[in-house]
A and B are shown apart, each in its own frame.
Chain A
Amino acid sequence: GDSVTQMEGPVTLSEEAFLTINCTYTATGYPSLFWYVQYPGEGLQLLLKATKADDKGSNKGFEATYRKETTSFHLEKGSVQVSDSAVYFCALNLAAGNKLTFGGGTRVLVKP
């Protein structure tokens, strides 16, 4: 079945550090890929997405590129802020079923 694997956290960084969260997937078709962010006590918010190979999603300084050859969708940000402290989820869906499959989530803590 379809699955998403992302690096376990927590990831602890200092402000202005570079952040990478690895995400790889397995899917039977050609999925769309997503990164969601969950701030403390809140629901999930879509951070960025990519719908086909080589697409790059970007938002709020975060970027992720859909790599079909490595079945990956790693999330990066060049300079994190304390406000980026949250849990980040990688997810995929196949257009036909539209069911989102989530990775386990990665908690990120940015210290001043």
Chain B
Amino acid sequence: GAVVSQHPSRVICKSGTSVKIECRSLDFQATTMFWYRQFPKKSLMLMATSNEGSKATYEQGVEKDKFLINHASLTLSTLTVTSAHPEDSSFYICSARVASNEQFFGPGTRLTVL
């Protein structure tokens, strides 16, 4: 099946710094990727839809200036958490959509902001 990777798997940063998370489709091209946030023992919340070559579409309540998304190629989307604060600590998961419309998920990135 299609494989999606995320890097890093874990990151710890200081409050006020920015963190970039990469999402790659390893064996297929994905024009659309999705970014989710998962709180402890909670469900996934869709943050934004990332489309290659165009601006991301953010869900209501998600700050686009805080969570910068770039989908520069058909195999890479990045999420940058700018000026991170402890409340941004979470598990961030990306997925990539294939031609059949199925989504394949990355393993997630655990962000801890001190």
A interface, CB within 8 angstroms of B:
36, 42-46, 49, 89, 93, 95, 98-100, 102-105, 107
Contact = CB atoms under 8 A, between A and B. Distances in A.
B105 A43 contact: yes
B108 A103 contact: no
Nearest to A93: B101
A98 B101 contact: yes
Contacts of B44: 44, 89, 100, 102
Interface of B: 4, 6, 32, 34, 41-44, 46, 49, 93, 95, 97, 101-108
B43 A107 contact: no
Contacts of A89: 43-44
Nearest to A98: B101
B42 A105 contact: yes
16 contacts: A42-B108, A43-B105, A43-B106, A89-B44, A98-B97, A98-B101, A99-B46, A99-B49, A100-B44, A102-B43, A102-B44, A103-B43, A104-B42, A104-B43, A105-B41, A105-B43
Nearest to A95: B101
A92 to B, nearest CB: 12
B107 A46 contact: no
Contacts of A100: 34, 44, 46, 95, 103
A102 B101 CA distance: 16
Nearest to B45: A102
B54 to A, nearest CB: 16
Given A102-B44, A103-B43, A104-B42, 9 more contacts: A43-B4, A43-B6, A43-B93, A43-B108, A44-B44, A49-B102, A100-B34, A100-B103, A105-B41
Given A89-B43, A100-B34, A105-B42, A45 B97 contact: no
Nearest to B5: A43
Nearest to A49: B102
A93 B41 CA distance: 22
